Structure 1
Amino acid sequence: MRKYNWGMIGTGWIAHEMADALNTVNGEIYAVADINQEKLAEFASSKHIQKQYTDATALINDPQVDIIYIATPHTYHYEYIKKALNAGKHVFCEKAITVNARQFDEVQQLAAEKGLILTEGFTLYHMPLFTKIKKLIKAGKIGETKLVQVNFGSLKDYDPSNRFFNKDLAGGALLDIGGYATAFARTFLSSQPNVSLTTVKFFETGVDEQSGIILKNSQEQLVVMALSMRAKQPKRGVISGTKGYIEIENYPRATAAKITYTADAHSQHSEVLTAGNADEALCYEVEDMQRYIESGHDDGQLSLSHDVTHILDNVRTQWGMRYPFD
């Protein structure tokens, strides 16, 4: 596989991890942009990056750049994705790829029109374990999937000024961590949910602090989801079928799953399925992104992101929670 010229926008904590993955998989990073010149210089030096830009648009328009990686706050994603696609660049964007479904539908259509790859940074889409689990389910090992249960809870410090609680920056649990839980659930459903029930507790700034969400699709498969931003929960997902259930801990970067087979109500046995390395989660993302470009096909990942974004939008509509830029 050829080396690609990646251009990174943003130098936060996830960008540091992605830079290490890019250097491991791709061998080098071509350029990085950040408005803070001191942080930019330090980042570029520590990650051995060739070019520095204080203007993200200038990086996007650099004719040598093949792929744009976006690691900014949510509110900037839509603008940078559009600019990058219009400049003929493939895009890998951290979650949430856009803050609402209207924005998503526009960039999805634009990527299709331009013949470019657009991918969202959900690690679980790329972990080898999930490929094994999907094959096991497709083979009928746990029977017909009936129910998905999934939790994600962070314990953010009480700080109303932090971006996690800032409505102007699309703060709240739903977009920060809820995308992971929703992506997990949608991965194991036969189709997009067409029914959603939800309730929410708001933080004092008006963003969602915690919520409960129930989804159902036309096959009557159910999802039960719990999200929280001021109470820690295990990152745990369970897929239940008519012949067994699968338990996955730390599902965003999972490397092991326990499968319990329940052929009847009186007997059961278990096995553990393993694959991948959690420390290489972002390496898998880079490898897949470059493979998508080589093949001209994204394995359906953007379609999953479409469904997730529309689910999140529907939930927020029920809450009556809109961002200033919606």
Structure 2
Amino acid sequence: MRKKVITFGEIMLRLSTPDYARIIQSTHFEATYGGGEANVAVSLAQLGVGAAHVTRFPDNELGKAATNLLRKYGVDTQHILYGGDRLGIYFLETGASVRASKVVYDRSHSAFAALEPDMIDWDVVFADAGWFHWTGITPAISAGAAACCAKAIEVANQKGLTVSADINYRKNLWQYGKTASEVMPDLIAGCDIIVSGKGDAKDILNISPRKTEANELASVFSQIMARFPKVRKIVNTTRGSVSATHNTLSGMLWDGQQMLETQTYDINPIVDRIGGGDAFMAGFIYGQLAYANDQKALDFGVAASVLKHTIRKDANLATVEEVEALLNGNTSGKLVR
């Protein structure tokens, strides 16, 4: 039996305006729950991979509702902690045409932000695990969350798990006295696979393309690998924005020797783009486990992300069969009977 994938990160209450309404004109909101790492776990569960999510919720009805959502989609919730004051919230205004989508956060002093390293026994969490995934959002939330993440990576390395991270940089989250460039390098050093773009590399690692190299992304990725020898694969997606409801998407992977690329997909119209990067990562993890072939894993990840753009709310609920159908060129959207 394939070992579990463990994800770690905050889950928030998402309140979305209906029918492309603006936040300032909305009298009601649609509620759901989501977070980058949890979205990966839910997506993996839909793809048939055992997944468990580790987080902390307030011990109230909101915490229970968020837990129940994870359980509904087959995610193992046995390691979730309860305590603290509140659940973080974000408000989503979905854009249309030339008007961009907008997110407003209300997440200060959340139960997750109050985490301390001794609250989680990672030896127990990783007992039946083979993969650990985190994102750059987690260590940005608080010193305690960063310390928990560091401990998780340390134990995962000791146990021989594959460690992956989307090192996405969120400038406005780093408010507790430490910068990303102070915290993130030590965490990245314990990773086998990372998601990074040129912007993340510059903001977090102060790495920019060398002027002498024609392929800027390969230049950045090779410098990252030279600095972090444990990192053996770096993946990235490239999004083209025609409008708020019309994007293009492709993916790349650098293995230290060559740059693999996918086809470019045209996504029009977009139903919900929140969680597209998480869907890519879940698809890529599935591909690594199922195919042991980097090109096929990369192709699967991008196709999974494309399908997520057609699914409302945070998590990708596409099946393996649906992703493979898209990979095989089935883009007609013809009714299935």
TM range (shorter): 0.3 to 0.5
Indicate the structure whose relative CO is greater, using CA pairs within 8 Å and at least 6 residues apart: 1
Indicate the structure with greater strand content: 1
Structure ID, larger Rg: 1
Structure 2 length-normalised TM: 0.38
